[in-house]
Chain A
Amino acid sequence: NAGVTQTPKFRILKIGQSMTLQCTQDMNHNYMYWYRQDPGMGLKLIYYSVGAGITDKGEVPNGYNVSRSTTEDFPLRLELAAPSQTSVYFCASRTSGTSFGANVLTFGAGSRLTVL
């Protein structure tokens, strides 16, 4: 199993450009999350999804959009990139329930985005 795969690992954008961060998981997890981590700060939730076709805003959703057309994929779209979106982005997933390993988060390796 690959776990949670994020691409790209690094990207430099110019102000006003758009891009999509890809996130795929092969564990059949129903919950998926996008976080950003600014230097010296804790993880902040951007968007999350509790299953295919269902998404909801987190703490810092402005400037981002998501979709969840399949259980496996949860892409994060940045429209009109701004320097304030320079950050490291993490995708994570988990299942729910009471079975062993349920509710434990699995993280992707992160995507470092710089907006100049």
Chain B
Amino acid sequence: KNEVEQSPQNLTAQEGEFITINCSYSVGISALHWLQQHPGGGIVSLFMLSSGKKKHGRLIATINIQEKHSSLHITASHPRDSAVYICAVNGETSGSRLTFGEGTQLTVNP
């Protein structure tokens, strides 16, 4: 079992829909990261959080430390949101190393 599990693996939505991507992890963590990988391959960091909730534009990330679970929400989805979304965690005992989920492929159709 991977330390970081994402669901779903693939997600197809219509433009305007509300989207949720889930991330569960099995170890104690100091921080959790959400990343976006564009179709061209580039990776950008969306959020880093260790508690609560963060919002940036149409993106919202939440984390529940007790349940070892995080969600990434996209409101009013748009075709340009189509990308792979990756969850990664800093384990409490792994120092500066991150463990990555395998990603969720999101396709938003017009």
Contacts and interface: CB of A to CB of B under 8 A. Distances in A.
Interface stretch (B40-48, B62-70, B72-80): B40-48
A50 interface: yes
B100 A107 contact: no
A104 B97 contact: no
A107 B101 CA distance: 17
Interface of A: 31, 33, 40-45, 48, 50, 58, 88, 90, 92, 96, 103-107, 109-110, 112
A112 B42 CA distance: 12
A50 B33 CA distance: 19
Interface string B78-100: 00000000101010000011101
A15 B47 CA distance: 40
B103 A42 contact: yes
B41 A110 contact: yes
Contacts, number: 47
Interface of B: 2, 4, 31, 33, 35, 41-45, 48, 86, 88, 90, 96-98, 100-103
A48 B45 CA distance: 18
B45 A31 contact: no
Contacts of B90: 103
A43 B37 CA distance: 11
Contacts of A104: 33, 45, 48
Contacts of B2: 42
24 contacts: A41-B102, A42-B86, A42-B103, A43-B86, A45-B98, A48-B96, A48-B97, A50-B96, A58-B97, A90-B43, A92-B43, A96-B96, A103-B31, A103-B48, A103-B90, A104-B48, A105-B33, A107-B35, A107-B42, A107-B44, A107-B45, A110-B42, A110-B43, A112-B41
